[in-house]
Amino acid sequence: MSGRVRRLQEQLEQPLLVTNPVNVKYLVGFDSSNCALIVERNRIRLLTDFRYIQAARAIEDVEVVETRRDTIGAIGETLARQQVSFEGVIPWSLHQRLETAGVRLTPADGKIEQLRAVKDEQELETIRRACAITDRAYERLAALQFSGRTERDVAWELLQIFHEEGADDQAFEFIVGAGPTGSQPHGRAGDRVIAEGELVVVDAGCIVDGYASDYTRTFAVGRVEGELREAYDVVLAAQQAALDGIRAGITGVEADALARDVIDASDFAGKLGHGLGHGIGLDVHEAPRLSTESPDTLEPGNVVTVEPGVYVDGRFGIRIEDDVVVTAGGIENLTKLTKDWTEVS
């Protein structure tokens, strides 16, 4: 049994129903879209249907319960008349069904998310591998032709590069945003043809053994000067301020402010329209959050993105994003790429 599930079991006063598939994967290494765990201090039951049952039986130290496709119905039968903790992310309708089946439910929000936020050495090693692949992919990316190609075409070539470098999968749909597309922080790679004189934001990452990387670099297509270059320097300075100041013990709000204050003191005040960063791991967005609304305090072993940006409506966007491990005294930056102003062809 993994240390993760043992740490969880030690905290339990009553059975905990785990229905988030990512949390099931985290705790026992079982990867299925239709499963649930019932974790007790001295017992773990894994419920899943026929399609996944062979894989379930290969998991050590769990009792496998084969259910109908309607695994939720089986949960109700299994837990009727018991007092059970559950994850707040479960659909409301599932909660209703379990209550109707006589399960006495009390919320146990965030227990597993808190465990997941602090990575163990094995997880850190996996994320380091994902980042090393991402470093190499971005190095090759900067050598590609950009001008005259569509954003979508560049995104596809980048995916091929990731595959060649050993990634299992893409961590999310890549963003390749040139000129005005880049001014939408979550603009997708589209059919727009990239032109000389534009900035292009590339936000990409990969999955290695289930764990994500998440990088962004902003390139100049040919010669770009003036306001765009000034904005780049502001974002770079904002990121450096955050990288210099982040350490265990500060809050997500304080971390966010390290970068935001630099941008807000510049000509681009108010133009960082999103939070500074987020945890990465089995999900691309997980705890802790670095933002003006974050409830979190940073701990050693958190792995977070640091990604300030400046977005000028309909004209251009700039974002620079590294992945870092939070340590007692500061950070370990997993992103080894240059952040110098980079011209691509």
Contacting positions for a second copy (CB under 8 A): 32-33, 49-52, 54-55, 68-70, 86, 88-96, 107, 109, 156, 160, 163, 169, 173, 183-187, 273-275, 291, 293, 313-314
Q: Which is nearer to a second copy, 113 or 337 (CB)?
A: 113
Q: Which is nearer to a second copy, 42 or 93 (CB)?
A: 93
- Shortest Å distance, C-beta 95 to a second copy: 4
- Closest by CA position to 277, among listed 220, 331, 229: 331
- Shortest Å distance, C-beta 109 to a second copy: 6
Mark 96-134 as b/e (b = at least 16 C-beta within 10 Å). ebbeebebebeebeebbbebbbbbeeebbebbbbbbbbb
CA distances from 33 to 1, 69, 193, 281 (A): 22, 11, 38, 18
User: Cis omega before residue 288 (within 30°)?
Assistant: yes
- Shortest Å distance, C-beta 52 to a second copy: 6
- Shortest Å distance, C-beta 236 to a second copy: 21
- Shortest Å distance, C-beta 161 to a second copy: 13
Q: Which is nearer to a second copy, 86 or 138 (CB)?
A: 86
Q: Which is nearer to a second copy, 240 or 292 (CB)?
A: 292
User: What six digits make up the tokens of 92?
Assistant: 């409301």
CA distances from 278 to 18, 21, 31, 304 (A): 23, 20, 23, 5
Q: Which is nearer to a second copy, 18 or 334 (CB)?
A: 18
Burial of 293 (0-12, 13-18, 19+ CB in 10 A): exposed
